[in-house]
Amino acid sequence: METLLDRFLRYVRIDTQSNEGSSTHPSTPGQMELAQLLEKELQQLGLSNITLSKKGYLMAEIPANTDKKIPTIGFIAHLDTSPDVSGKDVKPQLFPNYDGNDLVLNHAENLILKIQDYPELGDYIGQTIITSDGTTLLGADNKAGVAVIITAIANLMNKPDFIHGKIVIAFTPDEEIGQGADFFDVAGFGADFAYTIDGGPLGELEYETFNAAIAHIDIQGINVHPGSAYMRMKNAILIAMELNTMLPTNERPEYTRNYEGFFHLSEFHGSVESAKMTYIIRDHDKAKFEHKKAYLKNCVDFLNSKYGESSINLKMLDQYYNMKEKIEPIYHIVDLAEQAMVEEEIKPLIKPVRGGTDGARLSFMGLPCPNIFTGGHNFHSRYEYISLESMEAATKVIIRIIQLIESLGKPLRKMSE
């Protein structure tokens, strides 16, 4: 049998970096390449009802092997990696029996994973750490989730005496650009509930996400020769800077944590003639989220009154909402994952996601989806790393959840009840 490590190392070498500027689904061809590879592996493992849509959604099932009424459980991971850092030509490297010192990722470029900067490394002394060579990200987000699910299912298929209900799995494209749930067939998937395997350090268990919006701002200036600019020039760059200074400094990502929301200026391009800004707006609290959106709009309205109507065009779009609203009524699916971790001697770390997952949107589409750890750190970074032992623990948690849901022997309460 191929090991979890073997799978993971194969998957990260496939470039599945998503692209927000693409008009195709999936947004990049590498995602379909990985999906087709996984489709063949699922066929070899003997799964049923394997489907791969033209838009890159791969689904499969393991039929129930009992007549007991057991809820259908799902496990989901995404195929793509972050568009922020290159995922091409990933060169994974292993540091077995980690000794607690700095890890040199790349001698030639002096790229070092320093324990001083990343003290969490100290939690993994004696374990196997996996990194890239520092010139790309590693891709554990979310190739680790993919490898963990496949390995758990492979182990399950080799245990015919393991009693279980119907199990479904899915691998989705373009999660990193907020499109992972766009074409997800919830009814076709057929799960009563599911878990995204897309979390970070060992023990993470999350059922709260941000409420999220994106704001695109176009600023139209007037460019004239600076020697004759008196009362005529309208500098789009300076208007953009003025807008940014109107937003609270202490509500930037670098100054917020835990349940604190933020305005994040994620992109800026500008000249005197025109400027473009992109903000992402985040808050766990729905009322504070709506207040942040209204505040930004009021700032734009003020500047339009100052510099002339239509000087600034704001397009704001909600992206996803806090899935806590949909999961709290059936909190026992969180309890189930927590119990599985405890029985595997893993300390559960139940905390809010300072971001989002496919599970946030899927929860509002009728498929409640808490999020479970894979073991990774520093996602979206060339300093990304993951512990092999943590991935193995995630595999055991999946199997334990399946075992525990069988012991319940009754359907979970539906969200509408």
Three-class SS of residue 151? helix
E strands in 63-148: 73-78, 93-95, 103-106, 111-113, 129-131
| CA distance linking residue 261 with residue 213, whole number of Å | 12
User: Is 39 among the catalytic positions?
Assistant: no
Residue with tokens 């009424």: 69
* Angle CA 342–345–348, to nearest 5: 50
**Under 8 Å CB-to-CB from 187, ≥6 apart: which residues?**
none
| CA distance linking residue 36 with residue 25, whole number of Å | 15
Residues 213, 281: contact at Cβ < 8 Å? yes
User: Is 141 among the catalytic positions?
Assistant: no
Which of 15, 80, 133, 206 is labelled catalytic?
A: 80
Picking from 178, 176, 200, the residue whose alpha carbon sits closest to that of residue 351 is 200
Which of 175, 192, 384, 406 is labelled catalytic?
A: 175
Cα 161 to chain center, whole Å? 34
What ranges in 2-89 are assigned the alpha helix state H?
4-12, 29-45
Question: Checking phi first, is residue 56 left (phi over 0); if not, alpha (psi -120 to 50) or beta?
Answer: left
Residues 13, 92: contact at Cβ < 8 Å? yes
| CA distance linking residue 417 with residue 414, whole number of Å | 5
Beta bridge partners of 318: 213
Report the relative pairing of strands 58-62 and 48-52 from DSSP bridges. Answer: antiparallel
| CA distance linking residue 198 with residue 16, whole number of Å | 16
Active site residues: 80, 175
